[in-house]
A and B are shown apart, each in its own frame.
Chain A
Amino acid sequence: MIPQTFEYTAPQTLEEALGLIAGGDRKILAGGMSLIPLMKLRLATPGEVVDLGRVSGLNGISENGGVVSIGAMTTHHAIETSRVTRAHCPLLAETAGHIGDVQVRNVGTLGGAVAHADPAADYPAALLALEAQIKLISAQATRSVAASDFFLDAFTTALEPGEIVLEVEVPAEDQSEGYSYEKVPHPASGFAVVGIAARIKKDGNRIAMARIGVTGMGAHAFRALAAEKVLENGGSVADAAATVGDGETPNSDLYASADYRLHLARVHAARALATAISRAS
């Protein structure tokens, strides 16, 4: 469990970092909670590693005009505990608290997790439910991609070569909203066997808005659009949950076969929705 040799650079500025990333076979170290284990296993053997840990301006959480901006190098712990996230996007804070364990949350970063796009990662579910925008930057340009257009396949995102995640913009949740992240963690790895992020806005007894992000179940996280519609059209939680995963090919592994995983996703979707509805005012 010893990584192969590599060259290491730790740029101080974004410009410097983007210049380095623009050329060559370079891996980006953004915390390293996924990359370093892969390097130790020698499943990843990059020749050069660019550590974003010292780039100024990539770290921080702020709220401005109803949008919460979170720098790519912000740790899960910061997102879990920040007053800004807890006040304005509590779903994301709650989700962050489910990632790995305390030590992992102290080091792992939002940008790293999003760019790695593990099919069982927690954030994507919440980012989809929150309709977050992921801002990407390269030496040439900056662009913003909706979360729903960002996660394309297992470990595959809209990131182009030379691009990095700059920050994630989350529209602030309405104070009246209810939210919940329901996760079935794998007992060994802690990865999401399934994870459901739900947001609910009520209008009296009617559900005015439902947003449901699902992770762990398919090759990449997705929005359960049909379920959202069921709820917004006055359908029951049970009916909504029963549509989650329709048309998806569920992942299958030793812990959860495809049919069990699909079932879990539906059960936990119902539970997440129930919690979100109970929290909505």
Chain B
Amino acid sequence: MKISGVYTLNVPQERAYALLQDPAILAKCMPGCEGLDRIAENQYAMRMKMVLASISGLFAGKVTIADPNPPTGYRLIVEGSGKIGFMKGDGVLMLSPAGSGATVHFEGDVQVGGTIASVGQRLLDTTSRMLIKRFFTRLAAESAQAGVERVAAD
């Protein structure tokens, strides 16, 4: 499934790039993430407890930051698997200045497998968008700046 969207952060582009690359920040902002442990340069082991209403699942996986090109963008790969299935998000984040803040444009692909894929197609789009929104909302809070403003996402 294709995902894309644009969010604006009220921090300068360099700062936004740094935040988006900081494993501690990523861990705090990724919904359900219980920790990122460095396993290699730009690669982190991830533990995640995804909770969505009654649905919950533990995932183990890794987060990879590839093709870093500060401060304009990088590729983010998030992979996880657990009893209820597996998921892989692979996308490019592109940053650009927007006034005193920065615009984050992302485009990518989400793949899921296992039970999530077998029964979840009806909700995949809706819940993916919701989780991405949560990520940027928290990121905005973490940046200790004023709220994040969603420009467009589809």
Question: Is B115 in contact with A45, judged by CB distance below 8 angstroms?
Answer: no
User: Which B residues, 30 to 86, have Cβ-Cβ distances below 8 Å to chain A?
Assistant: 52-57, 83-84
Cβ 8 A contact of A116, one of B54, B84, B129: B54
Chain A residues positioned under 8 Å from B57 (CB to CB) = 43
Give the docked Cα–Cα distance between A218 and B123 (Å). 11
Chain B residues positioned under 8 Å from A258 (CB to CB) = 154
Chain A residues positioned under 8 Å from B55 (CB to CB) = 38, 43-44, 155
Cβ 8 A contact of B126, one of A27, A44, A219: A219
Cβ 8 A contact of B130, one of A46, A186, A219: A219
Give the docked Cα–Cα distance between A120 and B119 (Å). 15
The 5 closest A-B pairs by CB, nearest first: A155-B53, A44-B54, A252-B125, A43-B55, A251-B126
Task: Indicate if A7 sits at the interface (CB-CB under 8 A).
Answer: no
Question: Is A254 in contact with B121, judged by CB distance below 8 angstroms?
Answer: yes
Task: Indicate if B127 sits at the interface (CB-CB under 8 A).
Answer: yes
Give the docked Cα–Cα distance between A236 and B2 (Å). 37
**Binary interface profile of B, 130-153, with partner A (CB < 8 Å = 1, else 0)?**
100000000000000000000001
Question: Is A41 in contact with B53, judged by CB distance below 8 angstroms?
Answer: no
Given A42-B84, A189-B122, A251-B126, verify A34-B153 contact (CB < 8 Å): no
User: Which A residues, 242 to 276, have Cβ-Cβ distances below 8 Å to chain B?
Assistant: 249, 251-255, 258
Give the docked Cα–Cα distance between A27 and B53 (Å). 10
Task: Indicate if A35 sits at the interface (CB-CB under 8 A).
Answer: yes
Which B residue sits closest to A34, measured CB to CB?
Answer: B54
Chain B residues positioned under 8 Å from A44 (CB to CB) = 54-56
Chain B residues positioned under 8 Å from A153 (CB to CB) = 130
Which A residue sits closest to B84, measured CB to CB?
Answer: A43
Give the docked Cα–Cα distance between A156 and B55 (Å). 12
How many of B's residues come within 8 Å of A, CB to CB? 22
Task: Indicate if B25 sits at the interface (CB-CB under 8 A).
Answer: no
Which A residue sits closest to B118, measured CB to CB?
Answer: A41
User: Dominant SS at the A interface?
Assistant: loop
Chain A residues positioned under 8 Å from B125 (CB to CB) = 251-253
Which B residue sits closest to A43, measured CB to CB?
Answer: B55
Which A residue sits closest to B116, measured CB to CB?
Answer: A43
Give the docked Cα–Cα distance between A41 and B115 (Å). 7
Which B residue sits closest to A188, measured CB to CB?
Answer: B122
Question: Is A35 in contact with B54, judged by CB distance below 8 angstroms?
Answer: yes
Chain A residues positioned under 8 Å from B129 (CB to CB) = 219, 249
Given A44-B55, A155-B52, A249-B153, verify A119-B126 contact (CB < 8 Å): yes
Question: Is B122 in contact with A191, judged by CB distance below 8 angstroms?
Answer: yes
Chain A residues positioned under 8 Å from B6 (CB to CB) = none
Chain A residues positioned under 8 Å from B119 (CB to CB) = 41, 43
Task: Indicate if B124 sits at the interface (CB-CB under 8 A).
Answer: yes
Question: Is B54 in contact with A42, judged by CB distance below 8 angstroms?
Answer: no
Chain B residues positioned under 8 Å from A117 (CB to CB) = 53
The distance from the CB of A34 to the nearest CB of chain B, in whole angstroms, is: 7
Chain B residues positioned under 8 Å from A22 (CB to CB) = none
Question: Is B53 in contact with A42, judged by CB distance below 8 angstroms?
Answer: no
